[in-house]
Amino acid sequence: MRQRWRLYLDLIRWDRPAGWLLLLWPTLSALWLAAGGFPGWHLLLVFTFGTILMRSAGCCVNDVADRDFDRHVQRTAQRPVTSGQIAPREALLVGAVLALLALALVLTTNTAAVQWSCAAFVVAVAYPYAKRFVAMPQAVLGLAFGFGIPVAYAAVQESVPVQAAWLMLGNAFWVLAYDTEYAMVDREDDLRIGIKTSAITLGQWDVAAVMIFYAVFLWIWAWQLHALLSPAIWCLALMACVVQIGWHATLIHRRRREDCFKAFQLNHWLGFVLFASIVFALDVRLT
């Protein structure tokens, strides 16, 4: 039984928290912005654990959908479903249980948040299949990963303002940036097996495109939030983000697997900087 639990933890990438942190920071940022400050322990716990559960459920669906591709990719060949250690039906059952737990958490909020969560689930399930048909499936992932923003606004305000849509759009460009870095790791394998990714579609312009995606992301968030936050703190945060992005450029410009993967993993720090600055800048603005 202990060995089984270890396989389940491997299935949901428990030892690789970067994935759910990339979802968590923009979601919590939206939660703080929607509430104009600390949103209360109830919503904080709902969205923190809900994010972890939904990301874990998404891993289950993704591994089942990609199992025939993953066995040909160096980085993913030993995943539990791909290697046959967990049956596809069992993995989907685990994912269903996790998704139902996340739904139970959202049901403690309001109807609007539940409706937006259901839409988020549909897009999340559709994403693994997008890479078969869409030239840049990372755009679909950007949509899926951004749904925490309108759900957070809905949970606090029972509606989703235009600002949430802009923040979601900006976040989609961030996802395009870091998931293109991720796709650059597997480019050779993906070309061989015929998967579509942004790294393949962009070709020699991949590095330049990643930098443009980062720039658009920061510009949209800076434009939407500059009037709401303490200018000094917000400017320092944006400068820190620019420094991090410059570091990413130095990592990915040679397109080496290990460096591109490191750049991808470091993105959660960029999200943390923005979240922390929003928390402190709102507090300073209120005082």
pLDDT at 227: 87
Cβ neighbors of 12 (< 8 A, separation 6 or more) are: 55, 56, 57, 59, 60, 94, 98
pLDDT digits (tens, 9 = 90+) for 113-147: 999 999 998 888 888 888 778 888 888 889 999 99
The closest of 124, 119, 224, 247 to 175, measured between CA atoms, is: 124
CA–CA distance, 146 with 20 (Å, rounded to integer): 12
Measured in whole angstroms, the distance separating CA 170 from the mean position of its chain's CA atoms is 12
- Identify the residue whose tokens are 């937006």: 116
**Topology annotation, domain 2-121+135-286:** Tetracycline Repressor; domain 2 (1.10.357)
Give residues with Cβ within 8 angstroms of 265, minimum separation 6: 18
The contacts of residue 231 (CB under 8 Å, 6+ apart) are none
Quickly count: other Cβ atoms within 10 Å of residue 84's Cβ: 10
pLDDT at position 195:
83
pLDDT digits (tens, 9 = 90+) for 187-240: 988 888 888 899 999 999 999 999 999 999 999 999 999 888 888 899 999 999
For residue 245, pLDDT beyond 70: yes
The pLDDT, as a whole number, for residue 66 is 83
Q: Are 253 and 207 in contact (CB under 8 A)?
A: yes
244 Cβ partners below 8 Å, 6+ apart?
Answer: 266, 269, 270, 273
**Average pLDDT, stretch 245-271?**
95
- Whole-structure pTM value: 0.93
Residue 244 and residue 266 in contact, taking contact as beta carbons nearer than 8 Å: yes
Report DSSP state, residue 32: H
Give residue 189's pLDDT. Answer: 85
User: In this predicted structure, which of 11-20, 102-111, 171-180, 277-286 has the lowest mean pLDDT?
Assistant: 277-286
> What is the per-residue pLDDT for 284?
67
Q: Once rounded to an integer, what is the mean pLDDT over residues 150-173?
A: 96
What's the pLDDT score for residue 269? Answer: 96
71 vs 202: which has the higher pLDDT: 202
pLDDT tens column, 87-122: 999 999 999 999 999 999 999 999 999 999 999 988
Question: What is the pLDDT at residue 261?
Answer: 94
- The residue among 19, 11, 13 whose CA lies nearest residue 94 is 11
Predicted confidence (pLDDT) at residue 5 exceeds the cutoff of 80 = yes
Residue 268 has pLDDT above 70, yes or no: yes
